[in-house]
Structure 1
């Protein structure tokens, strides 16, 4: 249409389905048509501005606005756009495992994070003792409702450095960029041997006698010299 042309009719489509029509010269001016994935509120809609509600995830897709001018030419113009509908999870991600607590040192444990009923599924990330921890590739499961469930699993070998004071702290974050961020944390108990609960001073545990600093330095140097001489002797032979 050219600037200054009067509107004969304006129509809105989702895909090929018309759901809204504005015809200024008719009564009523606004007509709406049933569509499966949302409803139009005619009271909140005006001319080319359409208000839709009760939107489902399947309302996403291609939309087209078509405008026709009055007689005698009935010139027609149209514009298209794509709408994405995001359905955010209703709850924080859950953290679960089939392995029974308390864990043993060097035991391998599988821990799973799940975020349910979203579209699209959020991205899941693991943190172990507040540090990022890579896991298996995220799995997305589709449901008949059109919503998705995200699942991610990590496998951990319970090492002494990961379970200080007998606790393994696991955190899972579910996120949509700029839209959604939720996390959940869970502490898992680890059965540490008595040795880790009552460690003797580090010098005694290494078998070093409590000499003064100067004498210890001399003793240590003597050991290094002895080792060097022994090695040289082996090479010469």
Structure 2
């Protein structure tokens, strides 16, 4: 005869574990909030949650600890809105159910609409459980396009002056630009200038580069211009251009070659020039035939 077991029967024990698992499943599973919100568009916030065996009592949204939205499925009306500076809820595009809640905000202000957004859910009696997450949002009109470099030549000779201008796309706050020469940061020759777009008040920055080409040990030089937005989680945008380099001797040899080669390609139609070109070409051809 088997001794009596002190443990619950297997099915009952498994059921007990299952109930504990379901009860502890009450949690906020995800919260999606962008780090940067563009005031030229809307801001979408959402959170998903698992109630387990609990019953949802309320979902609340806060900005900087001020409640602006509440969903209570057990009440009528089930949704309530509260005035908070910088928060404008698009009501037709916002809503919640028992495991998901989405909020859309419009009329964003860079000064007032950014901050700490929190999604908080609570369960019904008797447990009254709470779960929440918070995300920070910065409102900024970041540049949509990379900076533009203008004024560069295709090639430079040792001693030439290299001049170029770089202009950022429009943004708020204004983007900050800096030059790079072969990957090394370079100070611009003058203070940045700014331009404001009348339609939306966004600002663009321009900086000027002026340098003497001295190091021609390489055949090329890379000129880069990078745009960043201080205080905003935004990946810098880099525009780069490669120009050719020649030493003074190489430039002189190239000029001599061009002077020698030009009669054959200049398109000169005067009789004397045509005769001279034919004579030179005939002499070269005769020498080639003799030596071959």
TM-score, normalised to structure 1, is 0.51
Q: Give runs of aligned pairs for residues 161-200 of structure 1, distance below 5 A.
A: 161=216, 170-174=223-227, 181=237, 183=239, 195=252, 197-199=254-256
For residues 146-170 of structure 1, the C-alpha deviation after alignment (integer angstroms, 9 at most, x for no partner) is: 96756655442134849x8xx9984
Distance 1:184 1:51 in 2: 40
Distance 1:15 1:139 in 2: 36
SS of 1:198's equivalent? helix
Q: Does the Cα contact within 8 Å between 1:20 and 1:31 map onto a contact in 2?
A: yes
Distance 1:52 1:16 in 2: 18
- 1:17 counterpart = 2:66: yes
Aligned position for 1:118: 171
The one of 103, 108, 126 equivalent to 1:51 is 103
TM-score, normalised to structure 2, is 0.43
Please report the RMSD computed on the Cα atoms of aligned residues, expressed in angstroms. 5.2
Aligned position for 1:135: 186
**Structure 2 portions without partners, runs of 5+:** 1-22, 27-52, 258-292
Deviation at 1:87, TM superposition (A): 3.5
Q: Does the Cα contact within 8 Å between 2:64 and 2:115 map onto a contact in 1?
A: yes
Q: 1:17 to 1:73 in 2, by over 3 A?
A: same
Q: 1:112 to 1:147 in 2, by over 3 A?
A: same
For residues 194-231 of structure 1, the C-alpha deviation after alignment (integer angstroms, 9 at most, x for no partner) is: 8465247xxxxxxxxxxxxxxxxxxxxxxxxxxxxxxx
Q: Give runs of aligned pairs for residues 69-108 of structure 1, distance below 5 A.
A: 69-71=123-125, 74-85=128-139, 87-95=141-149, 106=159
SS of 1:28's equivalent? coil
Deviation at 1:21, TM superposition (A): 0.9
